[in-house]
Amino acid sequence: MPVEHIEAIKEFGGWLNRYRHRSQLCHCDMTFSVYLPPAAATAKVPAVYWLSGLTCTDDNFRVKAGAQRYAAELGLVLVIPDTSPRGADVPDVPERYDLGQGAGFYVNATQAPWATHYQMYDYVTRELPALVEANLPLTDARAITGHSMGGHGALICALKEPGRYRSVSAFAPICHPMACGWGQGCFGAYLGKERETWAAYDATRLIEDGAAAIPLLIDQGTDDEFLAQQLHPTSLERICAARKFPLTLRWQEGYDHSYHFIASFIGEHLAYHADHLR
């Protein structure tokens, strides 16, 4: 599959690259970024996939998180996809930030008009890894992490794909999307009115319904403006305790939902993943 290399920036001895390709699943051009650490110049290295949140593109994380310095030191590739399909032919609701372009929610949509393009789950777990592993110096050792909607995406990808990821973590994830306005709005549009079909993309329900155990690391700020209404980490915590599912939920005093929070702890998350990927 042709991949167009559209940007290269040297950082911390490695290269922050940006690519564009025609997605066979999303039926549009997709843009993604990859940070290759210095170690990738001489050997294949493992990758951490970062999934961003509502309204973001691949650019937010690579500019704001400060992750490349840690990835260079740890010998990790960072793979940073977009949050949704995009383009003039891709359905959107311009007056809403929480539905349509920028709000793919990492599901495979089944409903019109979304189903043709909004296949983000398969894009993130299948098409993109196959593409980068075929074209760049990556091993097939993968970890996954993300923020908010992307934290939800990281959790469901790891829970639904036993063995595909060696570790998973999240920053302020939407832990129980079936119970919050963001999740209900997108799931109803993308997946239809039958609520039980939504459970396949809800981390809390996946664990309740018997997902295979994988250790979960979650950081949550106590001053997060979306904590009470949208994120529901205590719902996930209760189910994990009941199922004896390995969860480390770290409450970070005074932190909000922003990239200031992510930048404060991204080094610890990447070190966590490096330990699992070695």
Selecting among 147, 152, 257, 273, the annotated active-site residue is: 257
Is position 257 annotated as part of the catalytic site?
yes
Selecting among 224, 232, 269, 273, the annotated active-site residue is: 224
Is 134 in contact with 40 (CB distance < 8 Å)? no
Is position 169 annotated as part of the catalytic site?
no
Q: How far apart are CA 200 and CA 107, in angstroms?
A: 9
- Of how many residues is the chain composed? 278
Q: How far apart are CA 164 and CA 143, in angstroms?
A: 8
CA distances from 72 to 18, 44, 123, 257 (A): 17, 14, 26, 26
Q: How far apart are CA 124 and CA 155, in angstroms?
A: 13
**Phi and psi based region of residue 66 (left: phi greater than 0; alpha: psi -120 to 50; beta: remaining):** left
Selecting among 148, 167, 169, 235, the annotated active-site residue is: 148
Alpha carbon 117 to chain centroid distance?
A: 18
Which residues are known catalytic residues? 148, 224, 257
